[in-house]
């Protein structure tokens, strides 16, 4: 088979292999790596129906990561999807009322980023070996909460790597913060930024683009890589669970052969929903991709008007992992709908950088017909959690509730009866305060840790290991800095 090669969204000239794209994270020109085309599945749904999560992962990932050998890829998959997950099925499907929740929160940090971040370290260290890299790899990550902990957990004590995570001080939940600052591992560092997620993310991007810093690091035997959702090694593992979910719906006879489903995804950086779009292009019968936002509804407005405009107030919501004004992965979609025109993409991204906005052409807008945008206010999100609990006894987290609300509203507004899958991205235990006060205001005054016990009683679900762990853990990370001082912080940590 010919190798599937990857290009930058901002440069049509150079191609790299999959393992090189995984290793680099971000292209040198600031663009994102994209495959030259989206490969088709080469196994039938009939075969996929009976496959385990790990087998499905291999069937999907081998199509994208063609320069990894079968042995390498299977070894990465086995190391990733093991007893770190609290269920053998890895990503269970749960029917809640008339929708299907794909629970992506059964990994080490009880949020969906574990799905990709438990495999990325293995894909990355394999890529380093394959490409003769002898430098130590430094993972640099900006997080709005969940990526940080999932990346720390994935990379902790992985030989040949170091990881530095930046998060917005005050912009993540108490549980999220505790999860990060208690992280063990000699190679882990955590820094709180005085600013919001976009400041942290822009800061990390600037460090990646800093050629002088790159030289200095190289002299000391270090090189950067990214664990953010811009890394293709994050995106590809996320395609897997959409293929898996469809096959399981088929196996459970919830849908007929070839029946199309809609997929609703609570969206921030646009990685998860882009993976669903790739799954569709691989051949999974998906009709609409419903992009659900919270009150930071940049994407809703974009799908509505064709204008992406981040010049607006940044709102802190109860779904902090979606509090994002620059959805980095959208660039991959922009590139695709521009007809894989790197020059056009680069021009729009330049406008985003300088003016904070851009407008796509009418021809590009036509290619967005697979997508529907929606959003939920804080009030609507709470309402969704409460009414779903009252109707079904199922307790969902705030991010998932945004999607569930948008999914239900879409159905009501359009009359579209297509069955719908909701990506359920976090355990309610991770956002216990918001979830419990949505169910009943009387919980507002209680301590977050006590609310975990209340949630356990109310939902009848087990308290996850990840929560038990932080209850008594010691705080190990106390670094803080201004967004402008991130470079100095990195140099200090690495002793450069
Ligand atoms: C990261 C995250 C999201 C958003 O996913 P993107 O891929 O960034 O769009 C939604 N929900 C939770 C719980 C998350 O951690």
**Tens digit of pLDDT for each residue in 396-414?**
999 999 999 999 999 999 9
Mutate to test the pocket of ligand 1, among 198, 403, 425 (most ligand atoms within 8 A of CB): 425
pLDDT band at 445 (very low <50, low <70, confident <90, very high): confident
Residue 225 has pLDDT above 90, yes or no: no
- Could you tell me if 37 and 66 are in contact, meaning their C-beta atoms sit under 8 angstroms apart? no
**Percent over 70 (pLDDT), the chain:** 100
Which residues, other chains included, contact 466 with Cβ-Cβ below 8 Å and sequence gap of 6+?
108, 109, 110, 179, 427, 429, 430
pLDDT at 229: 75
- Could you tell me if 372 and 438 are in contact, meaning their C-beta atoms sit under 8 angstroms apart? no
Decide if 430 is inside a domain.
Answer: yes
Decide if 382 is inside a domain.
Answer: yes
Total Cβ atoms within 10 A of residue 328:
19
- Could you tell me if 322 and 267 are in contact, meaning their C-beta atoms sit under 8 angstroms apart? yes
Residue 227 has pLDDT above 90, yes or no: no
pLDDT at 86: 95
What is the C-alpha separation between 222 and 232, in angstroms, rounded?
Answer: 21
Decide if 440 is inside a domain.
Answer: yes
Instruction: Kindly provide the b/e burial profile for residues 98-124, where b requires at least 16 CB atoms within 10 angstroms of the residue's own CB.
Output: ebbbbbbbbbbbbbbbbbbbbbbbbbb
Decide if 311 is inside a domain.
Answer: yes
Binding pocket residue ranges, ligand 1, CB within 6 Å: 111-113, 146, 229, 266-272, 321-322, 399, 425-426
Residue 369 has pLDDT above 80, yes or no: yes
Which of the two residues, 157 and 103, has the higher pLDDT score?
Answer: 103
Ligand 1: which atom is nearest the Cα of residue 267?
9
pLDDT at 245: 98
Average the pLDDT over each of 244-253, 379-388, 461-470 and give the range with the smallest value: 461-470
Q: What's the gap in Å between 423 CA and the centre of ligand 1?
A: 10
pLDDT at 1: 61
Ligand 1: which atom is nearest the Cα of residue 145?
15
Q: What's the gap in Å between 268 CA and the centre of ligand 1?
A: 5
Residue 305 has pLDDT above 70, yes or no: yes
Residue 280 has pLDDT above 70, yes or no: yes
Average the pLDDT over each of 281-290, 309-318, 386-395, 464-473 and give the range with the smallest value: 464-473
> Which residue's alpha carbon is at the smallest distance from atom 15 of ligand 1?
146
Active site residue 113: yes
pLDDT at 226: 79
pLDDT at 476: 95
CATH number at residue 339: 3.40.50.1100
pLDDT at 472: 81
Decide if 62 is inside a domain.
Answer: no
DSSP assignment string, 195-224: S-HHHHHHHHHHHHH-HHHHHHHHHTTEEE
Report field, pTM of the whole predicted structure over 0.85: yes
Average the pLDDT over each of 80-94, 216-230, 232-246, 451-465 and give the range with the smallest value: 216-230
Domain range spanning residue 414?
Answer: 93-111+233-460
Decide if 448 is inside a domain.
Answer: yes
Residue 198 has pLDDT above 80, yes or no: yes
pLDDT at 331: 98
Counting the structural domains of the chain, the total is 1
pLDDT band at 162 (very low <50, low <70, confident <90, very high): very high
Per-residue pLDDT tens for 22-80? Answer: 998 888 898 999 999 999 999 999 999 999 999 999 999 999 999 999 999 999 999 99
Average the pLDDT over each of 153-157, 290-294, 423-427, 457-461 and give the range with the smallest value: 153-157
Decide if 201 is inside a domain.
Answer: no
Decide if 200 is inside a domain.
Answer: no
Beta bridge partners of 262: 420
């Amino acid at each position: 088979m010919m190798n599937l090669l990857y290009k930058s969204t901002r440069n049509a000239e150079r191609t790299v292999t999959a393992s090189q794209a995984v290793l680099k994270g971000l292209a040198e020109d600031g663009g994102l790596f994209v495959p030259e085309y989206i490969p088709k599945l080469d196994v039938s749904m009939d075969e996929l129906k009976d496959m385990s999560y790990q087998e499905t992962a291999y069937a999907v990932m081998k199509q994208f990561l063609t320069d990894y050998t079968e042995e390498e890829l299977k070894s990465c998959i086995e190391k990733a999807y093991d007893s770190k997950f609290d269920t053998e099925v890895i990503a269970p499907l749960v029917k809640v009322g008339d929708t299907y929740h794909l629970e992506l929160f059964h990994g080490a940090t009880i949020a969906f980023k574990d799905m990709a971040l438990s495999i990325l370290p293995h894909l990355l260290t394999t890529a380093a070996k394959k490409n003769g890299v002898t430098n130590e790899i430094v993972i640099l990550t900006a997080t709005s909460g969940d990526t940080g902990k999932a990346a720390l957990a994935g990379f902790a004590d992985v030989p040949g790597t170091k990881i530095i995570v930046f998060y917005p001080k005050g912009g993540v939940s108490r549980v999220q913060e505790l999860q990060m600052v208690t992280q063990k591992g000699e190679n882990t560092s955590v820094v709180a930024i005085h600013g919001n997620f976009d400041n942290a993310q822009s800061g990390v991007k600037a460090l990646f683009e800093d050629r002088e810093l790159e030289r200095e690091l190289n002299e000391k035997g270090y090189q950067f890589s990214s664990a953010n959702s811009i890394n293709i090694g994050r995106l590809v593992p996320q395609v897997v669970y959409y293929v898996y979910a469809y096959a399981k719906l088929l196996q459970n006879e919830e849908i007929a052969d070839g029946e199309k489903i809609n997929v609703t995804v609570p969206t921030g950086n646009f990685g998860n929903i882009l993976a669903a779009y790739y799954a569709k292009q691989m051949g999974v019968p998906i009709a609409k991709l419903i992009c659900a936002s919270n009150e930071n509804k940049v994407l809703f407005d974009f799908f509505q008007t064709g204008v992406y405009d981040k010049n607006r107030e940044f709102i802190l919501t109860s779904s902090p992992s979606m509090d994002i004004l620059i959805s980095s992965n959208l660039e991959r979609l922009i590139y695709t709908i521009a007809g894989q025109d790197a020059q056009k993409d680069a021009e729009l991204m330049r406008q985003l950088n300088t003016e904070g906005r851009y407008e796509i052409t009418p021809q590009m807008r036509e290619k967005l017909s697979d997508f529907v945008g929606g959003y939920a206010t804080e009030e609507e999100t709470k309402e969704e959690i409460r009414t779903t609990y009252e109707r079904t006894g199922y307790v969902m987290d705030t991010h998932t509730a945004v999607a569930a609300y948008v999914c239900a509203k879409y159905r009501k507004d359009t009359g579209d009866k297509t069955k719908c899958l909701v990506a359920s991205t976090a355990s309610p235990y991770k956002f216990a305060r918001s979830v419990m006060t949505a169910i009943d205001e009387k919980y507002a005054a209680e301590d977050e840790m006590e609310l975990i016990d209340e949630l356990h009683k109310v939902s009848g679900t087990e308290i996850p290991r990840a929560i038990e762990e932080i209850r008594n853990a010691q705080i190990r990370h106390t670094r803080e800095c201004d967004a402008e001082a991130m470079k100095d912080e990195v140099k200090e940590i690495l002793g450069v």
